[in-house]
C-alpha cells in the first residue's frame, strides 16, 4: 500500500512530481486564505483555516486517510506542520522548536544559550525610539528585519540615524500589507540587530529523531545585492562549491550544528544562513526547511537527493547525504536597479544560448511594476547555471554578472 504524505499549507510542483514518480500518495492541506477555486473539489486537496489549532483539527477530520508523514516546505506553515505531526503521533518538529524556527526573536534567545557566541545582538522594536536607543548603544551599520518573514522581505540596512528613521518609517508603512500577502496568520514584528561584517554562506542539515544534526559538507557561497551594486539587501547569487578554506569550512559547520542543537530541532531539515566575521561564524537564521533552490543545486552539483532526505526524516529514518560528484552550480535572483515598469532582460537572447543555462524563469509580465526586496517585492527573474566544465561555467557566470540586467522604465 502506498505511503500517504500530508503536505501542509500549499503545494510545490517539484515535491508533487517527486511523490508521484516515487510511488507516494499525498494530500495537500491547502490554506483557504490563499487557495484558488475554493468551491471546487480536488482529489488531492483539503482546504484549511490555519488561524487556530481548533480550526486545523476541523480540517484534519475531512481527510480520507490518516497520513504516514507530514511535511511543509514553506516558512508560514512550519508551526502548523509541527502541530499536525503531534496530533497524529507522527515524526515532526517539536512545537517549541517550530516556534523558535519561525520567530527570529525567539531564535536569537535560543542562540544566546549556546556554549559559544553564534549570533548577533538584537532587539525587538515597536517604535523609532526603540531603534534609536539600540543604535546609540551598538553603533552603525544596523539591520532591520521582520521576525517571521523569509526571502529578505523588508530587510534594510542603515548607516546613520537619518537612514534608520527613513527605513523604519518605510517598513512600518508596508509591513501590514506584506504580512497579509506572505504570512497572513503571523503577527507583524520588527527586529533590529548588529550588522555583521563578512560574507554570507549557507549550509543545509537534516536533524534526525534523536536531535542529531547531519550537516552537509557542501557550503553555499552567497553574494548580497549590496555586494554587486544594488541598494538592496537580498541574496543575489548562491554558488557551489564554496571558496572557503578548510579551517573556515570546519568552523562554519560546527556553528551550524550548535545552532540546530540550540533550537531543539528534531525530525526536520534545516537551512542555516551564516556570516563569516572576523570573530568567527555568526548565524543569521535557521529555517526548519531546506533552502530555496537546494533541491536542484545539490542534485546538479553533488548528486544528493534533498527531497528524499526530507521525506526520510518525516518517516523517522536517517538521511543519506554523501556526495556523488562536485560540479559548479549558481542560482541568481535578479531585481531591478531602478524600480519601475518591467521592460525585459538585457541580453536575454544571448543568455538563453549559454551552454551552462539550466533554468530561466522571468516572473514579471511586460509593463508590470517591479521593485526592491526591501520594499516587499520578490525577484523579477531567476537564473540557474550548471556545467561539468568549470571553465565554461565560470565564463557563463561572468557574462550573467556583467551583462544581464532587469530593464525598467
pLDDT digits (tens, 9 = 90+) for 337-349: 999 999 999 999 9
Q: Please give the Cα distance from 356 to 300 (Å, whole number).
A: 12
| Residue found by looking up cell 571558496 in the block | 243
Interacting residues of 404 by C-beta distance below 8 A, sequence separation 6+: 334, 345, 346, 347, 348, 351, 383
Length of the chain: 409
DSSP code of residue 113 = T
* Domains, the chain, with CATH or none: 4-99 (3.40.50.20), 121-193 (3.30.1490.20), 329-408 (3.90.1170)
- pLDDT tens across 143-200, in order? 999 988 876 788 999 999 999 999 999 999 999 999 988 888 788 999 999 988 899 9
Nearest to 271 by CA among 213, 339, 317, 325: 213
Structure confidence at residue 26 (pLDDT): 97
Report pTM: 0.86
CA-CA-CA-CA dihedral for 406, 173, 186, 120, to nearest 10: 80
Q: Please give the Cα distance from 12 to 248 (Å, whole number).
A: 34
Structure confidence at residue 321 (pLDDT): 97
Structure confidence at residue 183 (pLDDT): 83
- pLDDT tens across 318-335, in order? 999 999 999 999 999 999
Low-confidence ranges of the chain (pLDDT < 70): 151
Structure confidence at residue 153 (pLDDT): 83
Structure confidence at residue 251 (pLDDT): 97
Amino acid at each position: 500500500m502506498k505511503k500517504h504524505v500530508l503536505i501542509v499549507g500549499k503545494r510545490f510542483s517539484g515535491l508533487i512530481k517527486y511523490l508521484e514518480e516515487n510511488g507516494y500518495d499525498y494530500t495537500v492541506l491547502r490554506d483557504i486564505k490563499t487557495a484558488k477555486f475554493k468551491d471546487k473539489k480536488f482529489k488531492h486537496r483539503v482546504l484549511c483555516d490555519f488561524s487556530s489549532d481548533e480550526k486545523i483539527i476541523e480540517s484534519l477530520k475531512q481527510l480520507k486517510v490518516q497520513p504516514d508523514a507530514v511535511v511543509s516546505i514553506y516558512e508560514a506553515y512550519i508551526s502548523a506542520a509541527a502541530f499536525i505531526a503531534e496530533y497524529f503521533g507522527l515524526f515532526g518538529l517539536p512545537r517549541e522548536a517550530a516556534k523558535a524556527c519561525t520567530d527570529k526573536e525567539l531564535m536569537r534567545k535560543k542562540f544566546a544559550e549556546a556554549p559559544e557566541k553564534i549570533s548577533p545582538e538584537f532587539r525587538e522594536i515597536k517604535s523609532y525610539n526603540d531603534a534609536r536607543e539600540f543604535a546609540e548603544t551598538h553603533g552603525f551599520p544596523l539591520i532591520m528585519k521582520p521576525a517571521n518573514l523569509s526571502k529578505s522581505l523588508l530587510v534594510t540596512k542603515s548607516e546613520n540615524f537619518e537612514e534608520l528613521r527613513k527605513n523604519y518609517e518605510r517598513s512600518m508603512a508596508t509591513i501590514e500589507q506584506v504580512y497579509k500577502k506572505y504570512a497572513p496568520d503571523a503577527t507583524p514584528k520588527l527586529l533590529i540587530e548588529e550588522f555583521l561584517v563578512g560574507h554570507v554562506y549557507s549550509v543545509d542539515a537534516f536533524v534526525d529523531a534523536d536531535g542529531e544534526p547531519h550537516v552537509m559538507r557542501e557550503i553555499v557561497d552567497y553574494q548580497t545585492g549590496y555586494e554587486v551594486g544594488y541598494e538592496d539587501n537580498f541574496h543575489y547569487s548562491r554558488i557551489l562549491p564554496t571558496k572557503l578554506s578548510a579551517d573556515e569550512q570546519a568552523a562554519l559547520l560546527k556553528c551550524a550544528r550548535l545552532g540546530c542543537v540550540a533550537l531543539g530541532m528534531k525530525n526536520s531539515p534545516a537551512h542555516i544562513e551564516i556570516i563569516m566575521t572576523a570573530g568567527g561564524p555568526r548565524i543569521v537564521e535557521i529555517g526548519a526547511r531546506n533552502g530555496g533552490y537546494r533541491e536542484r543545486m545539490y542534485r546538479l552539483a553533488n548528486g544528493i537527493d534533498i527531497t528524499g532526505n526530507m521525506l526520510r526524516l518525516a518517516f523517522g529514518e536517517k538521511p543519506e547525504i554523501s556526495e556523488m560528484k562536485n560540479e559548479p552550480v549558481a542560482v541568481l535572483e535578479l531585481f531591478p536597479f531602478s524600480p519601475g515598469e518591467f521592460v525585459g532582460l538585457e541580453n536575454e537572447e544571448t543568455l538563453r544560448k549559454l551552454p551552462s543555462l539550466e533554468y530561466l524563469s522571468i516572473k514579471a509580465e511586460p509593463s508590470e511594476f517591479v521593485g526592491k526586496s526591501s520594499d516587499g517585492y520578490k525577484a523579477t527573474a531567476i537564473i540557474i547555471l550548471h556545467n561539468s566544465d568549470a571553465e565554461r561555467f565560470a565564463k557563463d557566470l561572468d557574462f550573467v554578472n556583467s551583462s544581464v540586467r532587469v530593464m525598467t522604465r
